Amino acid sequence: MINFLKHLNKEQRKAVEHTEGPTMVIAGAGSGKTRVLTYRVAYLLSQGVDPFNILALTFTNKAAREMKERIFNLIGSGEARNVWMGTFHSIFARILRTEGHLLAYPSHFSIYDADDSKRLIKSIIKEQNLDDKTYAPNYVAGRISAAKSRLISAEEYNKNIEIQGTDESAGKPKLGSVYTIYQNRLRKASAMDFDDLLFNTYVLLRDFPEILLKYQKKFKYILVDEYQDTNHAQYMIVKKLAADNENICIVGDDAQSIYGFRGANIQNILNFQKDYPDAVTYKLEQNYRSTKTIVGAANKVIYNNREQIYKEVWTNNDDGNKIVIQKAATDGEEGSIVANSIFENKMNQQLKNSEFAVLYRTNAQSRSIEEALRRLNIPYRIFGGLSFYNRKEVKDLLAYFRITVNHKDEEALLRVINYPARGIGKTTIDKLHIAAEKMDTSVWEVCEKIKEYNPGVKAGTRSKISSFVTMIKSFSAQMKKRNAFDLAKHIASSTGLLKELYDDKSPEGLNRYENIEELLNAIKEFTEKENTLLESGPTEESPSVRTLDEFLQEVALITDADQEDKEQTDYVSLMTIHQAKGLEFSYVYIAGLEENLFPSIQSLSSRPDLEEERRLFYVAMTRAMKKLMLTYAENRYKWGNLTICEPSRFLDEIDEKFIDYPKKASMQQSGLSFDDLTAKPKSSAPLSGLKRKNLKRLSNVGKSPARHSQESNFEDIQTGMEVEHSRFGKGKVVNIDGSGANKKATVYFNGIGQKQLLLKFAKLRILK
């Protein structure tokens, strides 16, 4: 017996030792998928298989590195170094370096990344005099990538009547022409983009039988990780390579197929048995990660999908805590509920920040969660994207706000003077700079007095600069007349920025558009939030109308506090669910479980799309090891309007025996009462599975009798003190700000959350 096999369970060991013929390993969440792959390679090597005859394909370099390290630890690094192990793209690039001359490519061909490709496409669109709003570079790049993933060449694209009809109806009849020019330009540059690495490998194997036979004989054992994520091109290449001896082992989980938007085809794994009738299937169903409660709840959800390979995931772990489903009045309060729960768990159980993760469907959702975590001084890190206020489109619109408030803000001016494009190019901007330095003045003043300073630009450009200045001045004139939200929305629309993002229909463009919507939502919340603290009355310093300059001041404080600490290694992880795949955390929060958000509104028109959304929820649930909280908002801002939300259908699919209804609820600092928080849902279709009697328990939280204890002198109250409030009960002072009559305290109250109080009105009693 090979000694290292003793570390495998019965089913894992069967999958490792069955080396001949087609093999499918269906690996449930947390069941040791990577272990099976690595042990299988190690076992093959221990049986005398030549490492040069083993091909192991992964989707990420990280996965390949981890597998190599594990194999080295099992049997040493000697022969194991010679295994062909890597990502699809890296392995196929290696083959093309050797065989590419047959396709008229030199061995030193360049590989264009996504940015290189988009720059080339952008230049082609400009050269062809096409409207870059109609032919948005991101959209065109996505369309070309999708065609290549389906193995459709530029020539075939232009001959396909259905494709041409789709482009015509979309108002983009020249897409095929751009695709042709793009490929010709790549050829002339001796370059391939990422999709070409797959496309050209397929062409090589299809058109040169001797090359196909060479690699079929070479790769006697093929292993493919995450097979459910393969696209058509990857599927066809693997099928050709394995056709000779059929020693192919695929590992994956159809329940975790969540990349359909990238071209992944779940049918590849569902139809594996049809492709290889003699295939042997092994199911890894023991979960080593999560509690019985989490595993059982996730099983109940995924059983609702029709298209799946049935399995019964189970675990020997403890039952664990039930899943908490928490309702919030708004998305802003949802962020506070999550942050307060993290704070409570940390304090009560002495946990690290790194044990917590907050998952969401779209990047834009991070905003309210980030702000709530900052208020509690909880460090966090955004994965797979920038912190909300650091995203380009958000900074672009904020720059318009800044130049509206302060015309001399040169950084903001230079950021937006030609965005969206208005014909004020780099050469012109350089001339404005030179004139400003020469006259010892600001670039804005040169723009404002363009005729007087005469920086040497053409009459047409002078007119465009004057129009820009007039537009900004018109915004400034309205600043004290309109509230922050009304003016912000007017600026986003009038500048053309909103239309610029709306016209980009690529996934990236949609994401940017959603982020602008979320920024406007934040401003709407800011505008409607009382400009006074809960315990204080109106003052002259607290006007009823909140203006754009006040919002910028608040954002500046947020972003200043958000500078990444390079030394910080203990942080809460924030990410989309797609980014979380393959990861695990002790405590997981899934936010935004509402219809049209999760499941996404784009997924509701077809069963396959809805089932992918359910798989995404399954992936999110199974990231949790110990505790799982699911949150939803009754109302969520949508383009500044507070809209009524319907709880996600996925919540109804969880068996009630796995659900806990919290005895305590958290409130945000906005002054919402617990009655507001737990008012009868306005949704037209309330949750059928969540009993109202359980939700009603929330409405009684915090309604304790008023205390009549002697208040302390507010000047004596300091950070770290334990205090008591007549309404909120006992709490701890976490921060003091200001002095004298303006002295404020941020207090964390047990079971309620964080409150900011003006001390002269708060009537706190010092306990110790």
Catalytic residue chosen out of the listed positions 38, 183, 228, 256: 256
Q: In angstroms, what CA-CA distances link 746 with 299, 334, 534?
A: 42, 19, 12
What is the spatial distance between Cα 712 and Cα 761, in angstroms, rounded to a whole number?
Answer: 12
Q: Could you confirm whether 703 is annotated as catalytic?
A: no
What is residue 602's three-state secondary structure?
Answer: helix
**Which of 316-325, 339-348, 656-665 is the least confident region?**
656-665
Instruction: Name the amino acid, one letter, at 163.
Output: I
Task: Say if residue 557's pLDDT is above 80.
Answer: no
Report yes or no: 220 and 49 within 8 Å, Cβ to Cβ.
yes
Selected residue with higher pLDDT from 506 and 628: 628
Choice among 623, 627, 636, 744 that is catalytic: 623
Of 152-156, 336-340, 543-547, 599-603, minimum mean pLDDT range: 543-547
Distance from C-alpha of 625 to C-alpha of 698, rounded to nearest angstrom: 26
The catalytically annotated residue of 11, 99, 225, 518 is 225
**Average confidence score pLDDT of the chain:** 85
pLDDT at residue 667 greater than cutoff 50: no
Is residue 470 part of the annotated active site? The answer reads: no
Give me the catalytic one of 14, 17, 34, 554. 34
Between 557 and 21, residue with greater pLDDT: 21
- Dig out the tokens for 59 from the structure: 């989707």
Work out the pLDDT band at 699, boundaries 50, 70, 90. Answer: very low
Please say if the pLDDT value at position 736 is more than 90.
Answer: no
* 541 has a pLDDT exceeding 80: no
Average pLDDT over residues 4-11: 87
| Segment 363-368 mean pLDDT | 89
> What does the alpha-carbon distance between residue 330 and residue 332 come to, in Å, rounded to a whole number?
5
Instruction: Please give the pLDDT value at position 612.
Output: 95
d(CA 24, CA 222): 12
Mean pLDDT lowest for which of 76-90, 315-329, 384-398, 524-538? 524-538
Q: How far is CA 32 from the centre of its chain?
A: 25
CA-CA distance, 690 to 693, in Å (whole number)?
9
* 3 state DSSP class of 630: strand
Catalytic-residue membership of 256: yes
pLDDT: which is higher, 289 or 7: 289
Name beta bridge partners: 280: 23
Range among 55-64, 98-107, 524-533, 688-697 with highest mean pLDDT value: 98-107
d(CA 341, CA 628): 11
Confidence of residue 625 (pLDDT cuts 50, 70, 90): very high
- Cα–Cα distance for residue pair 586/336, rounded to 1 Å: 20
Helix, strand, or coil here: 159? Answer: helix
Would you state the structure tokens that stand for residue 53, as one six-digit string? 């005859």
Mean per-residue pLDDT for 141-169?
A: 94
Task: Clarify whether 34 is annotated catalytic.
Answer: yes
Tell me the pLDDT band of 650, cut-offs 50, 70 and 90: very high
End-to-end CA distance of the chain, in Å? 66
pTM: 0.69
Instruction: Kindly name the residue from 12, 13, 23, 33 that is annotated as catalytic.
Output: 33
d(CA 193, CA 96): 13
* Average pLDDT estimate for 728-739: 83
Q: What is the mean pLDDT of residues 191-196?
A: 90
CB 404 within 8 A of CB 476: yes
CA–CA dist 158, 152 (Å, integer): 10
Mean pLDDT of 290-312: 94
Q: Check residue 293 and give its pLDDT.
A: 97
Write the CA distances from 28 to 16, 138, 509, 625, integer angstroms. 16, 35, 34, 14
**Per-residue pLDDT band at 683 (split at 50, 70, 90):** very low
Q: Are 424 and 462 in contact (CB under 8 A)?
A: no
Closest by CA to 436, choosing from 459, 418, 413, is 413
**What is the pLDDT confidence band of residue 262, given thresholds at 50, 70 and 90?**
confident
pLDDT greater than 90 at residue 238: yes
Q: How confident is the model at residue 436 (pLDDT cuts 50, 70, 90)?
A: confident
620-629, 698-707, 713-722: range with lowest mean pLDDT: 698-707
- Nearest Cα neighbor of 668 from 748, 575, 562 is 748
The answer to whether residue 684 scores a pLDDT higher than 80 is: no
pLDDT at site 697:
38
Cα separation of 652 and 673, whole Å? Answer: 27
pLDDT at 149: 94
Separation of CA 642 from chain center: 23
Give the H/E segment covering residue 626: strand 624-638
Task: Quote the pLDDT of residue 324.
Answer: 95
CB atoms closer than 10 angstroms to residue 286: 19
Catalytic site residue 253?
A: no
pLDDT band for position 568 (cuts 50, 70, 90): low
**Tell me, what's the pLDDT at 213?**
96
Task: Indicate which residue of 167, 193, 195, 226 is catalytic.
Answer: 226
Cβ neighbours of 153 (radius 10 Å)? 15
385 pLDDT more than 70? no
